[in-house]
Amino acid sequence: MGTSYVYRRDASRLFIALRENGKRYKIYVPTDSKPVIDNEEQEINFIDHIDSQYYFNFNGKQYNCELVSRDQNKILIKVNGVEYKFSMESIFSYIRHGMIDKDIKQINANNIASPMPGKIVDIFLTEGDLVNEGEPILSLEAMKMQNEITASCNGVIQKIHVVSGQSVMKDELLVEVNAIDV
């Protein structure tokens, strides 16, 4: 649970790799750290990349990966001589596909509505950012008190309906969040 996307908020770097056998990996491709796989930073070291070959080291063991074939979003990869097939999706397309038969109430529950009338003081995130459950999204001033409004799930900021300085009513929709731990 203790995912921290603090330094890597960019949801466009989060992908889902789905295997034919139903196994699913949620993978954050980093720019400046170890890859985050299923919410956990993994001690995987990248050794080399030559043409279609990718070499990693994990727990002292080398993993030789080779791209065998690619058909749109289907990727067949050979790891130490054994093939694994994955269907790849960005988190956005994954959410889109996942939304179809999801409970509308659950979707609404993840969205952030204003708990009270007030004024938006600051917005900490932008659309497309990743957010962790309990992490502040924006600051709302009401009755001369500043309140941090936090996310109720790990998710992606889908849409921000307000701007800094704007006054809002109670129950007004502020931010749409898509849960990613689906």
Residues in contact with another protein by the rule CB under 8 A: 12-13, 15, 17, 19, 23, 25, 27, 29-35, 37, 42, 44-49, 53-54, 56, 58-59, 61-67, 70, 73, 75, 77-84, 86, 88, 90
Q: Which is nearer to another protein, 121 or 182 (CB)?
A: 182
Q: Which is nearer to another protein, 7 or 102 (CB)?
A: 7
CA distance 76 to 44: 20
Q: Which is nearer to another protein, 65 or 107 (CB)?
A: 65
Provide the minimum distance between the beta carbon of 69 and another protein in the complex, in angstroms, as a whole number: 11
Tokens of 2: 């203790």
Q: Which is nearer to another protein, 34 or 161 (CB)?
A: 34
Provide the minimum distance between the beta carbon of 116 and another protein in the complex, in angstroms, as a whole number: 38
Rg (CA), the chain: 20
Provide the minimum distance between the beta carbon of 66 and another protein in the complex, in angstroms, as a whole number: 5
Provide the minimum distance between the beta carbon of 176 and another protein in the complex, in angstroms, as a whole number: 20
Dihedral (CA of 49, 24, 134, 2) sign: negative
Q: Which is nearer to another protein, 30 or 98 (CB)?
A: 30
Provide the minimum distance between the beta carbon of 102 and another protein in the complex, in angstroms, as a whole number: 24
